[in-house]
Amino acid sequence: MVKRMKLWVAGALLLAVGGTVVASNMGFKFVPNLNQTGKTFTISLPLNNNYTNASSVFNDINASCPGAPQLVERMVPSAGGTVREDWNGTGTDFTVNSNEGLIVVVNPTCTSWVIVGSHNPAYVYTFAQAGKNYLTSIPYHTTATVANDLFTSIPSAVLIERITPTAGGGIRQSWNGTGVDFPVTIGESYVVVVGTAGTNWTPSHY
C-alpha cells in the first residue's frame, strides 16, 4: 500500500519533483497518514513546534481524531533503544525535545491530525553518546532521499534504522553502509547511532 501524506509550506511554492519536496525555510503543515491501527508510527516534528510534552501531542491527536490516540512514546537514547517513556493519558508525561522523533500508536486510524511548525536552519543536532539509539526528527524539506544520504552526512554515523509500522515496532530496516538502503519518507523519524560521543550534525535541506 502506498503511504500518502499531505504537506504544505506556508508562504512558499511547494514542488514535487520525482518524489522530492522542494521548499524554503518557511512554516510547515503536515498531515501524517496513520492508516493502521495498533501499529507504531515514527513521527518527525519541525524544530519549532507547538508541543511541550507528551500530553500536548496526545491531546492534539485526540482533537483531530477523537478516541484515536493510544500511545505517544519517546525513545530514550539507549543501547538498542530499549528504554522508553510512554504516555497514554497516564504514565510519563515527558518533555518534547527539539530534534527527537516520537512514536505514535492509534486505534482507530487517524488521517486528519495536522502538525504545524517551522524549521531552524541554524540548529545543530548533537548526539551526546556513542553506541546509543537516537530516534531523530528529519526536516520535512530534507535533501536526503535514502538512508545512505543520512549515513554519509552524519559524522561518525555507524547505523541508520527505520522502525516499520508494526505491532510493537519490533521490525526495523537497517543501513550501515550495507543492508536495506530504505527511502527517506517525509514525516518519519529514524534511529541514528554514532561512533563518537558529542557528534554534531546540521541537516541539509532545500
**pLDDT for 49 beyond 50:** yes
- In the chain, DSSP finds a helix count (H) and a strand count (E) of 2, 16
Over range 120-124, report the average pLDDT: 93
pLDDT at position 191, please?
98
**pLDDT for 89 beyond 50:** yes
Widest distance between CA atoms in the chain: 43
In angstroms and rounded to an integer, the radius of gyration of the C-alpha atoms of the chain is 16
Specify which residues 110 forms β-bridges with.
34
Mean residue pLDDT across the chain: 90
Over range 183-196, report the average pLDDT: 97
**pLDDT for 1 beyond 80:** no
Specify which residues 114 forms β-bridges with.
none
Residue-wise burial string across 86-115, b where 16 or more C-beta atoms lie within 10 A, e elsewhere = bbeeeeebbebeebbbbbbbbeeebbebeb
Query: Per-residue pLDDT tens for 137-150?
Result: 999 999 999 999 99
**pLDDT for 62 beyond 90:** yes
pLDDT at position 206, please?
85
